[in-house]
Homo-oligomer: A and B are copies of this chain.
Amino acid sequence: MSIDTLKAEIADGYGTPAVVIDLDRVERNIARVQQLCDAAGVANRPHIKTHKSPVLAKLQTAAGAKGITCQKLGEAEVMVAEGLDDILISYNLLGTEKVGRLGRLLQRASMTVAADNPTVIGGLPQAADIAGRQLGVVIECDTGRKRAGVETPGEAVALARAIKERPSLRFEGFLFYPTEHSWPQTQRFYDEALEGVRALGLEPRIVSTGGTPNLPNVGNLKGATEHRAGTYIFNDRMMLDCGAATLADCALSVYATVVSRAAPERGILDSGSKTLTADTGALNDGFGLILEYPQAKIHAFAEEHGFLDLSRSNARPGVGEVVRVIPNHVCVVVNMVDRMIAVRSDKIVDVLPVAARGRLV
């Protein structure tokens, strides 16, 4: 089928804006990263925050992923309900509501959670008590991102001791998310922390690195056991920008319609900040790449309006034309919608619910 026919089928059958994924590309991306991890001798634990779809998570585990990574309980609940197991929640969970839900999840699946402070570790035994089994905990370590994570190996070892002191918790290892330049620092951090926990009689079973832009570095941390990448399944303009993907690797696009052309050099797409999101992805060149008009720029948003600057584009779309937009940051775009239209060879083959969307907590 031709792309024009597909565009018409999507616009007429589903309406725009529509989030469309190419399953052939999805499968190629899954296979490539699995091979990359296999070659590095590191397990693959993809981050499902990108797609939030149990169907796609199962494609990842079927291809060889050891388990999955979630960023929040709601995602993990949806995945466990659909039969996924061996789940790492790479986030500090605290408070009775969350710990209770974690306990109920632990009754049904193998769960590991991250912690970077004593308050979080102090609350986790309650989850293990609910489940009647040990809960695995990895210590989140910061090596330059300044997000979550202890800043020193000494703090990491102190938290490992706090885990060891609680019989219902099991020390599982370390969670890292190196920046582009912090791999040597991460190695030093890990080596020192490893020495420290061994002095406590502990041995890490999980040493996790993360990030799609870090895929070329998978295995560079000596001692790493697994990697968690998310964006690679679809890729986006950020991944194009940092060289982690080519256009042929971009598996998700937003089909949008030009709804207004009030002046020669500008227009309006029916995809605004409630679709493509205001996330710039740290790119300073508009929001999204329009495949048909790469010189056009989505320079601003209203909630349902994408403001098109066509001044640099010789070819210009008319009102009613459907275009495909590669978003700057795909993970936040998937989170806006309840379904993804799945295609192969420009033919619609499925509609996948974004099952874990809207699970805010």
| Interface, chain A (partner B; CB < 8 A) | 11-19, 49, 71-73, 91-92, 94-98, 101, 116-117, 119-120, 142, 146-151, 257, 259-263, 266, 268, 270, 273-275, 277-280, 302-305, 307, 318-320, 331-332, 335-338, 357-358, 360-361
Known A12-B95, A92-B260, A319-B120; contact A360-B337, beta-carbon cutoff 8 A: yes
Q: Is B148 touching A15 in the complex (CB atoms < 8 A)?
A: no
A-B contact pairs, 25 of them (CB 8 A): A12-B95, A13-B97, A14-B97, A15-B73, A15-B98, A16-B361, A17-B360, A91-B259, A91-B304, A92-B260, A94-B257, A94-B319, A117-B262, A119-B318, A120-B259, A146-B266, A146-B307, A147-B302, A147-B305, A149-B262, A151-B263, A270-B361, A278-B332, A335-B336, A338-B360
A-B interface, 7 closest residue pairs, ranked by CB to CB distance from nearest? A15-B361, A148-B260, A278-B279, A92-B259, A119-B319, A15-B97, A278-B278
Assembly stoichiometry (copies): 2
Known A15-B361, A257-B94, A358-B337; contact A72-B304, beta-carbon cutoff 8 A: yes
CB distance from A284 to the nearest CB of B (A): 14
Bound CA span A301–B11, Å:
33
Residue of B11, B150, B357 touching A95 (CB-CB under 8 A): B11
Q: Is B116 touching A273 in the complex (CB atoms < 8 A)?
A: no
Q: Is B277 touching A360 in the complex (CB atoms < 8 A)?
A: no
Contact partners of A19 in chain B: CB under 8 A: 360
Q: Is B275 touching A360 in the complex (CB atoms < 8 A)?
A: yes
Bound CA span A243–B38, Å:
58
